[in-house]
Chains A and B, each alone.
Chain A
Amino acid sequence: MEAQLQNLAAGLTVAIGAIGPGIGIGLIGAKAIEAVGRNPETQGRVTSLMILTIAFTESLAIFALVFGFIIKFLG
């Protein structure tokens, strides 16, 4: 029973932790495309900024993944 609960906790940690970054990355992508649409010559600059921002947002989901691994294998 306890091992099953541990699996459930690990799964939920990653699942819930991915909600926020998912929304965030969607917003970043939408805004970046909007910016390029308004101002097509800035595409190179916007793309690199977008990837940098996505990386910061994505790292939150990665922390959730790390905690999921910790719960699953070390908990």
Chain B
Amino acid sequence: MDHIHISLPSETVFHVGSFVVTNSILTSFLVSIVICVVLIAVARRTAVAPNKGVGFVVESAAETIVEQMTTVLGSRQVALKYFPLIATFFFFILFNNWLGLIPGFTHIMVTTPDGVVPLLRRTTSDLNTTIALALISFFLTLAFGFKQLGVWGTLKRYFHGNPFMWGIGLMELVLEFTRILSFSFRLFGNIFAGEVLLIVISALVPVVVPTPFLGFELFVGAVQAYVFSILTLVFISLAVTPVAEEH
């Protein structure tokens, strides 16, 4: 089993000054460029009613996301306001999860001072990336809440009504911060576990058997992208809703 290569931290490929460039950073840039090129190319020649090609796929995906957001937020106008953030999360995580499943993607090796390491690695199987995404999600939720309700209104969501019940509000406030942990480890855990599963299965039986697992990983990647973006949206919708006045 000594030919199995599993690494929890991402490996350093090269340095720019004192800045360490790891293989997951390279992949995230690659994914960003792919997304930008595809989406800008589609946006440049929009048709009124596209019925084939990439434009059709992208427009139906965008429409589906807006519809999903409308069922959560209750109004299409509000949904369109948060659409850029949620769609960015969705497409970035989805492309990252799926690009790494292309056979041979992680097998391009380069020689570095630290030894032979893969040039590319799924960004979402690196904890640094998922923590960064979780922090973005958490602080933007907070910012949207402050913008909509003000600092006082946001605090009022936790401390309202009977002062004896404020202890529960305090506990809820502390629990908000565990969201950073659960957001980042949910994505990282699912994708990293899937990667380890694929590596181990292909090492045991290299032919035919890994195929259904690859299909399953495609499914998991899509579900995790959906869960991350929809959960961000649900927490945003909770944060911008003022607490109901008691009568």
Contacts and interface: CB of A to CB of B under 8 A. Distances in A.
Main secondary structure of the interface of B (DSSP, over half): helix
B183 to A, nearest CB: 9
Interface residues of B, number: 13
B227 A59 contact: no
Nearest to A62: B185
Nearest to B185: A62
A73 B185 CA distance: 16
Given A59-B178, A62-B182, A65-B185, A73 B231 contact: no
A16 interface: no
B186 A59 contact: yes
B100 interface: no
Interface in B215-231: 227, 230-231
Contacts of B230: 48, 51
B149 to A, nearest CB: 20
A44 B67 CA distance: 10
Given A55-B231, A65-B189, A73-B8, A48 B182 contact: no
Contact of A62 (B8, B181, B231, B234): B181
17 contacts: A44-B71, A48-B71, A48-B72, A48-B230, A48-B234, A51-B230, A51-B231, A51-B234, A52-B231, A55-B186, A55-B231, A58-B182, A59-B178, A59-B181, A65-B189, A66-B181, A73-B8
Interface of A: 44-45, 47-48, 51-52, 55, 58-59, 62-63, 65-66, 73
